[in-house]
Amino acid sequence: MVKYIENQDGFDQALKDAGDKLVVVDFTATWCPPCRSIGPKFEGHSENPEFSSVVFLKVDVDEASDVSENCKIGSMPTFHFYKNGKKIDEFSGADEDKLLKKLHQHK
């Protein structure tokens, strides 16, 4: 299941609630064609039992601009990976293979 983040407080709370679980964040925009391409795949991975211990978050950069500004998002889609509240990895682009590789690497 993907949790939609609406503001910085919600983002901070989601990271805190995750504890030591891997958190993967999809920074997206409704007007971004590559985002629309990878979005359903991101959601599909969130339902995969293999990733049941991973927290999947989605941030619309326009609706939650405070989060995207604080995370210094310059292009979409961008994926950030967190553990224990600290960013451990990131990449930009709608590359499902890279997303899967990093999910396996960090989970």
Using the Cα atoms of residue 65, residue 68, residue 84 and residue 26 in order, give the sign of their dihedral: positive
When pLDDT is cut at 50, 70 and 90, the band that residue 68 belongs to is: very high
Query: At 91, which helix (H) or strand (E)?
Result: strand 86-92
| 32 carries an active-site annotation | yes
pLDDT (tens digit per residue) in 6-24: 999 999 999 999 999 999 9
Length of the chain: 107
Supply the pLDDT for residue 59. 99
When pLDDT is cut at 50, 70 and 90, the band that residue 45 belongs to is: very high
Whole-prediction pTM value?
A: 0.96
Which one of 22, 24, 32, 61 is the catalytic residue?
Answer: 32
The structural domains of the chain, ordered by start, are: 2-106 (3.40.30.10)
Q: How far apart are CA 6 and CA 31, in angstroms?
A: 17
Q: Which residues contact 29 (CB under 8 A, 6 or more apart)?
A: 35, 60, 61, 62, 76
Q: Which of 31, 19, 38, 34 shows the shortest CA–CA distance to 2? A: 38
Strands 23-28 and 86-92: unpaired
When pLDDT is cut at 50, 70 and 90, the band that residue 93 belongs to is: very high
- Nearest-5° angle of CA 20, CA 24, CA 28? 155
Which one of 35, 54, 61, 99 is the catalytic residue?
Answer: 35
